[in-house]
Amino acid sequence: MVINFQLVNKIITALKSLKKYYLYIILWTLLVSTLMYLLFPSGISIELYSFLIIIYLTGLFYFFGKMRRNELDEIQSIISSIRLNKIKSKDSIKLNRNLKILEDEIYAMYVKMQDDINYLKKLEKMRTQFLANVSHELRTPIFKVQGYIETLLDGAINDEKVNLNFLNKAKNSTIYLGNLLNDLIDISMIESGEMKMSFRYFNLNEYILSIINHFKDTTVKRKIDIVYNPCREDLKVYGDKERLNVVFSNLIQNAIKYTDVGQIELIVEEFDNGVNITIKDTGIGISSIDLNRIFERFYRTELARSRLVSGTGLGLAIVKHIVEAHNSKIIVNSRVGEGSEFSFTLRK
């Protein structure tokens, strides 16, 4: 004989789900049979017997129907409480013991819904904050350009002592605006997942030397040295050269911007299958509280703001995304007044 285990299992599960009702069924059966026995001790006709069976079954169906209705009411009441936001804790989601699995599922659904709502609220807040920040950052340079042009038009254009100066200042503001827009485009492309990466092997030493060369004028002007101990000449690393240029430039620019005296050091350390790159400075440093936030968009420390060096606080947010697109992580160590070091790894 072939035993259909699936069917047996189904029957057992169905019987188990009725467990709670067995007592009622037994009590009802006992009641009806006792009544029958007491009322008709000498036996009954087949018609009366059928009639009593019908009464018995009707009672049983009524009982099951009522139980089912109660359960549906309970479920409906919990669902409307969720819909009306009346649930305050897990205890508010209580169904009878028979519906424990359903209770757990409803609770899991409720938690997931709350998480989704909170996430959407957070996104909405970030979006508003982002818009406010962008408008704020755009307003200052635009007003500056407007101011210089108006002053020039009001007569300063003929004043040899200030006209070139004002034009240069207006030009600097437009350069700042251009950089800000580029950063914003980068950020939005990165965050919408549109940033196309183009990975290939390239010579690290040549690459770093050309970047350092690019900053030569600035470092000479600021009287800060960039120290770099060339790495193995034939060392090749794997990455997107153009995007990494943004990373190196932002980190070196920051090191220059936030350092008054001392030096900036670029360190390349080889390990088994990659290299660790560190950009270290002897600048103003970052407090431990700020360290957790500097990679947020538009975040600038009080120390940086008070230095009057321009910046939007987008640089490190972009750096972080690009480094992560290289399967790496940007690590920062810093102490106020002593300096900072930012490092990340690349595959070789």
Ligand X SMILES: Nc1ncnc2c1ncn2[C@@H]1O[C@H](COP(=O)(O)OP(=O)(O)OP(=O)(O)O)[C@@H](O)[C@H]1O
Q: In the complex, which residues of this chain contact ligand X (CB under 6 A)?
A: 183, 250, 254-255, 258, 281, 283-286, 294, 299-301, 304, 311-317, 340
Q: Are 141 and 171 in contact (CB under 8 A)?
A: no
Q: At its nearest, how many Å lie between Mg ion and the CB of residue 139?
A: 20
Partner from ligand X, Mg ion, none binding residue 328, C-beta < 5-8 Å depending on class: none
Q: Taking the CA of residue 245 as centre, how many other CA atoms within 13 Å lie in the half-sphere pointing to its CB?
A: 13
* Nearer Cβ to ligand X (239/339): 339
User: At closest approach, how far in Å is the CB of 314 from Mg ion?
Assistant: 8
The residues, any chain, with a CB within 8 Å of residue 1's CB and separated by 6 or more, are: none
Q: Token pair 């635009």 is at which residue? A: 142
The C-alpha atoms of residue 183 and residue 293 are separated, in whole angstroms, by: 18
Is the CA virtual torsion 24, 26, 28, 31 positive or negative?
Answer: negative
Rg of the chain over CA atoms, in angstroms? 37
**Distance of closest approach, residue 311 Cβ to Mg ion, in angstroms:** 5
Which of ligand X, Mg ion, none is residue 95 near (CB under 5 to 8 Å by kind)?
none
Q: Quick one: which of 268, 271, 272, 278 has its CA closest to 229?
A: 268
Q: How many CB atoms lie within 10 A of CB 345?
A: 20
3 state DSSP class of 284: coil
Cβ proximity to ligand X, 93 vs 173, nearer residue: 173
Question: 125 φ, ψ to 5°?
Answer: -65, -45
Task: Give whichever of 93 and 224 is closer to Mg ion, judged by the CB atom.
Answer: 224
Nearer to Mg ion, 254 or 282 (CB): 254
347, amino acid identity:
R
Residue 130 CB, nearest approach to ligand X (Å): 14
**Rounded CA separation 264/249 (Å):** 13
* Residues found near Mg ion in the complex (CB under 5 A): 254, 315
Residue 148 touches which of ligand X, Mg ion, none (Cβ within 5-8 Å per kind): none
The site partner of 304 among ligand X, Mg ion, none (C-beta below 5 to 8 Å per kind) is ligand X
Q: Check residue 335 and report its DSSP letter.
A: E
Interaction partner, residue 282 (ligand X, Mg ion, none; CB < 5-8 Å by kind): none
What is the distance between the alpha carbons of residues 244 and 188, in angstroms, rounded to a whole number?
18
Q: Is the Cβ of residue 286 or residue 346 nearer to ligand X in the bound state?
A: 286
CB of 171 to ligand X, least distance (A): 18
Q: Which of the choices Mg ion, ligand X, none does residue 237 contact, using the CB cut-off of 5 to 8 A by kind?
A: none
**Residue 291 C-alpha from the chain's centroid:** 18
Nearest position to ligand X, beta carbon: 315
258 contact choice in ligand X, Mg ion, none (CB below 5 to 8 Å, kind-dependent): ligand X
Question: Which residues is 265 bridged to in the sheet?
Answer: 227, 280
The nearer residue to Mg ion, 254 or 259, going by C-beta atoms, is: 254
Least separation in angstroms between CB 298 and ligand X: 8
> Interior CA angle at 289 toward 287 and 292, to 5°?
105
Q: Which does residue 248 touch among ligand X, Mg ion, none (CB within 5 to 8 A, set by kind)? A: none
Distance of closest approach, residue 210 Cβ to Mg ion, in angstroms: 20
Token duo for residue 133 = 């920040």
Identity of the residue, 75 or 291, whose beta carbon is nearer to ligand X in the bound complex: 291
Beta carbon nearer to ligand X, 301 or 345: 301
CA distance 228 to 266: 5
Q: Whole-number minimum distance, CB 162 to ligand X, in Å? A: 28
